[in-house]
Amino acid sequence: MGLLNFLKDTIGIDPGSKHLRIIKDNELVFNEPAQLSFDKTLKVVTGLGNSIKLTDNNVTINPVDCTINDFHAFEMLLRGAVKKTISSNSIFPKTYKLYFCIPTSTTEIEKRAYRDSAEHVGAIEVHMIHQSCCSAIGLNILFEKKHFMLIDFGFSKIEMTVFINSDPISVGVIRMGTSKIYRLIKNFLKRKYKIHLNDIEIESLLSELKTVEDEITIQYIVVKTHEIHQLLDNFFHIVNDEFIEAMERVDLNQIEKAKSTGIYFTGGGSTIDLLRDKIMCNHSIKRTVSQNPLLDNINGVKKVITQEDKFKKYTMV
Ligand SMILES: Nc1ncnc2c1ncn2[C@@H]1O[C@H](COP(=O)(O)OP(=O)(O)OP(=O)(O)O)[C@@H](O)[C@H]1O
Ligand SMILES: [Mg+2]
């Protein structure tokens, strides 16, 4: 153990587009919206997570859209979240060993953005693990099932990873998730029917649509349900094509092994039955939905930190 190791905290981060989650000492210490407010005149951050300021003078910034899309804002969010949750009584500045779980489809350029941001908030060691591996670890299937498919249905992306012999060997991603789907429906209802819905109303509409047949009444206006299904089907046609391609890239014998175990669903979007059911035309493949889809990633990071040697080959520096 190094002389100054007592000054080094290990923290794990799931930098989601909707939620930022941070763990330290096996505890989830931050689980709030990945957003901050910025005062346009004073040019300072005025709040983050659940405590942003919503006055006219403030703009709300969401620095993650699948991966980091605003480098400085992300750093400010990370710095603020770490400061808010990890108080230090030491007279010495704290340094961090930091584990990021990043989308499996992250490019090398995007990886550099994570590494740089981590270093700017005081990380002296940065490790990255693909989110699909984290979720599989969090779900206890990585070594237990070996061959399977995992779909992370998030706010900004829907990503499918095929695992063979516990290795992620093929990935398909559409960088659009619940956020775009909700906007598609909102825009359609606004433009055609002058109906204005918020996200919560869209979510309850999606659960009603599962059982309603031809027509649905929204704000006293009758809407044909097939129109909304058509919108969703068009969107999921592209998603399904991407996923079939990812499966076609895998050797025939191997993909059969993965198919026989089936598909595991994680990520917040997988809790919405109607949307999840539109993924993959082939419903003969067994489908399992995670019991804890919002926290599988960060739970996986937790295990990677506590059992470093076991998961060493999945971490990247
Ligand atoms: N209990 C819940 N709380 C919040 N969001 C929920 C909940 N249940 C389902 N959702 C859905 O989950 C979505 C967020 O999913 P998730 O937290 O997996 O995204 P993320 O990890 O932040 O984003 P991404 O992985 O795409 O970067 C929300 O848009 C919402 O539609
Ligand atoms: Mg996520």
Of 64, 35, 39, which Cα lies nearest the Cα of 51?
35
Count the neighbouring beta carbons within 10 Å of the beta carbon of residue 2: 7
Answer whether 156 contacts ligand 1 (Cβ < 6 A): yes
AA letter at 116 = D
Domain co-membership, 129 together with 150: no
Q: Name the closest ligand to CA 202.
A: 1
Domain co-membership, 230 together with 99: no
Domain co-membership, 284 together with 151: yes
Nearest ligand 1 atom to the CA of 267 is 18
Which residue stretches of the chain are H helix? 71-85, 108-120, 131-138, 142-145, 178-193, 199-209, 225-248, 252-261, 273-277, 296-306
CA of 154 to the centre of ligand 2 (A): 5
Domain co-membership, 161 together with 86: no
Distance from C-alpha of 193 to C-alpha of 221, rounded to nearest angstrom: 8
Domain co-membership, 195 together with 93: no
Q: Which two tokens stand for residue 46?
A: 């005025």
CA of 140 to the centre of ligand 2 (A): 18
> Residue 212 is part of a domain; what is its CATH number?
3.30.420.40
Which of 134, 161, 185, 294 to probe ligand 1 with, by most ligand atoms within 8 A of CB? Answer: 294
Answer whether 178 contacts ligand 1 (Cβ < 6 A): yes
The residue whose C-alpha atom lies closest to atom 21 belonging to ligand 1 is 16
Which of 19, 31, 134, 157 to probe ligand 1 with, by most ligand atoms within 8 A of CB? Answer: 19
Q: Going residue by residue through the chain (317 aa), what tens digit of pLDDT does each one get?
A: 454 455 578 999 999 999 999 999 889 999 999 999 999 999 999 999 999 999 999 999 999 999 999 999 999 999 999 888 776 665 666 788 999 999 998 999 999 999 999 998 889 999 999 999 999 999 999 999 999 999 999 999 999 999 999 999 999 999 999 999 999 999 999 999 999 999 999 999 999 998 888 999 999 999 999 999 999 999 999 999 999 999 999 999 999 999 999 999 999 999 999 999 999 866 789 999 999 999 999 999 999 999 999 999 999 98
pLDDT at position 92 is: 60
pLDDT at position 5 is: 53
Distance from C-alpha of 39 to C-alpha of 45, rounded to nearest angstrom: 6
Answer whether 33 contacts ligand 1 (Cβ < 6 A): no
Interstrand relation of 8-15 and 148-153 (parallel, antiparallel or unpaired): unpaired
Domain co-membership, 154 together with 254: yes
- Domain containing residue 122: 5-135+296-316
Answer whether 267 contacts ligand 1 (Cβ < 6 A): yes
Nearest ligand 1 atom to the CA of 266 is 18
Interstrand relation of 123-130 and 95-102 (parallel, antiparallel or unpaired): parallel
Interstrand relation of 287-289 and 263-266 (parallel, antiparallel or unpaired): parallel
Q: Which two tokens stand for residue 93?
A: 């500045």
CA terminus-to-terminus distance, the chain: 20
pLDDT at position 87 is: 64
pLDDT at position 43 is: 93
Domain co-membership, 173 together with 217: yes
Domain co-membership, 117 together with 22: yes
pLDDT at position 25 is: 87
pLDDT at position 253 is: 97
Domain co-membership, 62 together with 191: no
Nearest ligand 1 atom to the CA of 15 is 27
pLDDT at position 121 is: 86
Domain co-membership, 50 together with 102: yes
Distance from C-alpha of 228 to C-alpha of 40, rounded to nearest angstrom: 39
Q: Name the closest ligand to CA 20.
A: 1
CA of 145 to the centre of ligand 2 (A): 22
Domain co-membership, 68 together with 185: no
Q: How many structural domains is the chain composed of?
A: 2
- In the 8-state DSSP scheme, what is residue 280? -
Domain co-membership, 98 together with 168: no
pLDDT at position 111 is: 94
pLDDT at position 1 is: 45
Count the neighbouring beta carbons within 10 Å of the beta carbon of residue 284: 8
